[in-house]
Amino acid sequence: MNGDFLTEQRVVGDVFAASLTPRFGPVAADVILIPGSCHGWWAWRFWQPALAAAGYAVHALSMPNHTDAPALPVADYVHLTPQDYADRVAAFAATLPGRPVVVGGHSLGGWVAQLAAVQMRPAGLLPVASAAVDALTGPREPMDPTQPWCPSREEARRVWFADADDAVVEWALDRLSGESPATRNAPRVLDRTALTCPILVVGAGRDASAVPDQRHLAAWLGAECEIFETAGHDLMLERAALPAARRVISWLDRVVPPA
């Protein structure tokens, strides 16, 4: 199986990208996947090979100060907002070879993907268990603006997982990184009329996090929606991961122009 893919790891600015590209046949599109708070590129460990096997070049990112990405001084890092992350996603996309681009993200990364899509005008947008505009979410408890934050292992397990193998959960918890508090504290506003591409929202029926009901997000975005009822917030790492990836592939095959 590994011989079917070209693998590449590189740093673009202060973002790390792990890329998997089909070695044979046409590549339909480049899919950029943005992880959620405290997660790194590894969060897409199950989706990335599945999407690559379906003919897509898949680029899983880590933002600064996350797994394998360059570390900024804490005094600088704590000021990074979702828009700063979105700017970095757009800069990474500019290095790709000119195929259609789909931008997707999980949780905070789903909000970053929405912001990036306004700049990039991609071929598709894929929010997964995604954060959203404040109008859908309501008030958020502010974080200490001077320090990165990360939940305890116990809280992360309770809030982010519902139906995952224990070994996968422990593996993920070992890799969490402190998150910029500005990603939580910054206002979340978006002109939804600026999003003109096809959108698929993927949600989890047992999501215990603070993201809004994904059906409401899909309605607000004018998007298609698929909910995996047994899954928790980190559905890409749960038992629903591959069924969800197959649903994403069927959507990609339909909305992305043929290579």
Residue 23 has which token pair? Answer: 């070695």
Residue 154 has which token pair? Answer: 């116990």
pLDDT of residue 259: 67
- Split into its structural domains, the chain has a count of 1
CA neighbor of 127 nearest in space, from 218, 233, 6:
218
Using CA atoms, how far apart are residues 107 and 113, in angstroms rounded to an integer? 10
119: left (phi over 0), alpha (psi -120 to 50) or beta: alpha
User: Mean pLDDT in the chain?
Assistant: 96
pTM, 2 dp: 0.97
Query: CB burial class (10 A; 0-12, 13-18, 19+) of residue 220?
Result: middle
List of residues 6+ apart from 116 with CB closer than 8 A: 34, 86, 89, 90, 93, 103, 122
b/e map of 74-110 (b: 16 or more CB within 10 Å)? Answer: eeebbebbbbbbbbbbbebbeebeebbbbbbbbbbbb
Whether pLDDT at 55 is above 90: yes
Mean pLDDT of 122-128: 98
- What is the chain's length? 259
Answer with the residue of higher pLDDT: 33 or 258: 33
Q: What is the pLDDT of residues 197-241, one digit of tens each?
A: 999 999 999 999 999 999 999 999 999 999 999 999 999 999 999
Percent of the chain's residues with pLDDT above 90: 95
pLDDT of residue 187: 95
pLDDT of residue 23: 92
Using CA atoms, how far apart are residues 117 and 103, in angstroms rounded to an integer? 7
pLDDT of residue 258: 73
Domain that holds residue 69: 2-255
Whether pLDDT at 16 is above 80: yes
Q: Are residues 242 and 50 in contact, defined by beta-carbon separation less than 8 angstroms?
A: yes
CA neighbor of 27 nearest in space, from 60, 53, 56:
56
**End-to-end Cα spacing for the chain:** 22
Whether pLDDT at 1 is above 60: no
pLDDT of residue 141: 86
Triad 41, 219, 255: Cα angle to 5°: 60
Give the domain CATH number at 67: 3.40.50.1820
Percent of the chain's residues with pLDDT above 70: 99
